[in-house]
Homo-oligomer: A and B are copies of this chain.
Amino acid sequence: MASQLQQRIPVAVLGATGMVGQRFIELLHNHPWFELVGLAASEQHGGRPYGEVARWRLPESDMPASVASLPVVACRPEALPGVRVVFSALPGEVAGEIEEAFARAGVAVFSNAKNHRMAPDVPLLIPEVNADHVAAIQEQRQRREWPGFIITNANCSATPLVMALKPLQQAFGIKKAILTTLQAISGAGYPGLPSYDIVDNVIPYIGGEEEKLERETRKMLGTWEEGRGFVDAPLAVSAHCTRVPTREGHLECVSIELERQATPEDIIAVWTNYQPEPQQLKLPTAPAHPLIYRYEEDRPQTVRDRNAGRGMTATIGRLRPCPILSYKFVVLGHNTIRGAAGGSVLNAELCVQKGLL
């Protein structure tokens, strides 16, 4: 068991120079179970120290001194000997083959990339939502003859939605969800969105985002069934995705239709009392409360609530009846922590506890 780990598991970050890569470094620095021993990015860096090739972008921290001296190697298994886990912040253009090469070489891959998310044998995992989807790994390894495996985390806008929906699905069933997202600029990576495009502006379009959100939500709220594979939840999802001038934090206005009747008190109780596996296991990166409900009429707000639970909690508010579906509410999640790097670190922690590492 993790708590008896004799020594920390050696891990590496792929795509270590980008914004999500830096979040991985920030979260893995001084992690109780994982020891960050390797950094990989594009070949051009040729093994030079991270402190030389990367500029630190995260305003909340400085580059950890121990990381500055690590060489930035190529994204190849042989360049990272001894590494048992990699966290991938690679861009979609290259993530597919690189991640597979690591899995083939026996490494456990926890990926933030979109490439394998919808594969029929790859878990799209949020430990508070679908921890049982980890079972797909066995089939993944058999089919692909990999000693390692790949687990993905969800799109940053799908994550808080699914966290809010899961306990409702369990308690009351959900038939429909229509939502509009108001997403922060960090979601576009770095350099990402030109400042001239977003100061004093809203852009009501993020390429591919609505499709991802709709599709991933159904997979995560669905089931893994032996012999059948992943079965989507019978849930209709319709998303409008927009970009707004905020630094971090995706806020979402959601209308849902429940299968069974529930009072607002019922719903809030279900959210407030939600204590799934990661919280019971007290995984290091799991927040004490995966969901917080705020009773103030104007919460959650992006700047005030994005750091709840060190960025791992989804904050909900404004539950009220919807004149068209059953209820409407607002949910907010930190997009580069819970919605990206933090999500994958929590996935890896779950796998440690399940004996997969």
Contact = CB atoms under 8 A, between A and B. Distances in A.
A186 interface: yes
A185 interface: yes
A357 interface: no
Contacts of A265: none
Given A182-B244, A240-B328, A253 B195 contact: no
Interface centre among A196, A202, A255, A302 (most CB of B within 10 A): A196
A300 B204 CA distance: 7
B19 A240 contact: no
Contact of A323 (B59, B185, B238): B238
B195 A19 contact: no
B199 A301 contact: no
Interface string A187-199: 0101111111111
B324 A236 contact: yes
A60 B328 CA distance: 27
Interface in A300-344: 300-304, 307, 317-318, 322-325, 328, 330
A196 B236 contact: no
A229 interface: no
A203 interface: yes
A57 interface: yes
A302 B200 contact: yes
A244 B247 contact: no
A191 B188 CA distance: 14
Interface in A254-284: 255
B318 A204 contact: yes
Interface residues of A, number: 57
A236 B238 CA distance: 18
Contact of A238 (B200, B247, B324): B324
A222 interface: no
Interface in A190-235: 190-205, 207, 214
A194 B190 contact: yes
B298 A205 contact: yes
Contacts of A236: 323-324
A42 interface: no
A245 interface: yes
B202 A200 contact: no
Contact of A298 (B191, B204, B245, B325): B204
A180 B322 CA distance: 12
18 contacts: A182-B242, A191-B196, A192-B196, A193-B194, A194-B194, A195-B199, A200-B200, A201-B302, A202-B251, A202-B302, A204-B300, A204-B301, A205-B318, A214-B323, A236-B323, A238-B255, A242-B253, A244-B245
Interface of A: 19, 57, 59-60, 176, 178, 180, 182, 185-186, 188, 190-205, 207, 214, 236-238, 240, 242, 244-247, 251, 253, 255, 297-298, 300-304, 307, 317-318, 322-325, 328, 330
